[in-house]
Structure 1
Amino acid sequence: MTRRIIAFTFLSAIILLVGCSDSVKSVETEYSGSGGMTQWNIDPAVYLYHYQNGFSGRDALGYDEQLQTVWSRLGAATTCNVRYNKRGLIQQLMQRFGEKPVTHELNGIGFHSIQSRKVPDFCNASRIKEINKALNRYRKGKFD
């Protein structure tokens, strides 16, 4: 019970902070493709770059790079209101990648959902199609 309260408090704080962030599309700047995910307030263009090209090196934030990609697609599903069995997939992720359920829920899926919500026009038809394809692979245990 205490873990749930702590997790809920943590998630509430993240949501509050995101609500206070600037959701206006940032000025297009050159991005080297490295280090942007380590910033306190991640630029939507940086997040989209890594969503499309992968979360590698320090931008994987200490987690398996493939796991970050899976989390990003599950977070995108949350953002775009694409339904899936979150509990079931978290169980599969725990078997494949380890980590605790709260890590998958908050540090993974929740974090990526928050970041994708800041990207203008993120939930376009093409992206929703891509999310559904990824979900179908994940349901079969194919996380590569």
Structure 2
Amino acid sequence: MSHTTFGTIVVSAMLLAGCSNPVKPAHEEYSGSGGMTQWNIDPIVYLYHYQHGFTGSDALGYDEQLQTVWSRLGAAVTCNIRYNKQDMIQRLMHRFGEKAITHELNGIGFHSVQSRKVPDFCNPSRIKNITSALQRYSRGQFD
């Protein structure tokens, strides 16, 4: 095979490779339902539910309002916003039932893990909203 033929083959292969895109897009459009039930929750899915609510199957069998509260408490952990976790867990047990360990692990811990995966999660606006939610929760206002 001559240098010219070999060069043509290499260039052709490079052009064809450049035209194909074997890598799927980073994130496809999310329909807003079912994403929280996946084994590995996509950060886009988590952020969607953080902003719009954990409803239906995405509440994972827990009270939808409780999931929202847990998400803000987990976000506080992620963003290093201090609060009295044990006092808060007592308030949650009084308002929503469930055992302390459920609030600690299935709730706050779970949401902290998910929010840590979201790029730029702890932005100034979100920190302000989390801080405001913590103030309401400390007064027993969970809605």
Which residue number corresponds to residue 82 of structure 1? 81
Question: Using the alignment, how far apart are the partners of 1:124 and 1:114 within structure 2?
Answer: 17
Map 1:29-48 → 2, pairs under 5 A? 29-48=28-47
Which has the larger Rg? 2
Map 1:1-144 → 2, pairs under 5 A? 27-144=26-143
Structure 1, unpaired ranges of 5+: 1-25
SS in 2 for 1:63: coil
Kindly state the Cα deviation for residue 30 of structure 1 after the two structures are TM-superposed: 1.2
Which residue number corresponds to residue 17 of structure 1? none
**In the TM superposition, what whole-angstrom CA distance separates every residue of 1:69-110 from its partner, at most 9, and x where no partner exists?**
000000000000000000000000000000000000000000
Structure 2, unpaired ranges of 5+: 1-24
Q: Identical aligned pairs, as a percentage?
A: 78
Q: TM-score of the superposition, structure 2-length normalised?
A: 0.82
Kindly state the Cα deviation for residue 28 of structure 1 after the two structures are TM-superposed: 2.3
SS in 2 for 1:67: helix
Q: TM-score of the superposition, structure 1-length normalised?
A: 0.82
Question: Using the alignment, how far apart are the partners of 1:110 and 1:28 within structure 2?
Answer: 25
Aligned CA-pair RMSD: 0.8
Higher relative contact order (CA 8 A, sep 6+): 1
Question: Using the alignment, how far apart are the partners of 2:34 and 2:87 within structure 1?
Answer: 32
Which amino acid in the other structure matches residue 63 of structure 1?
Y
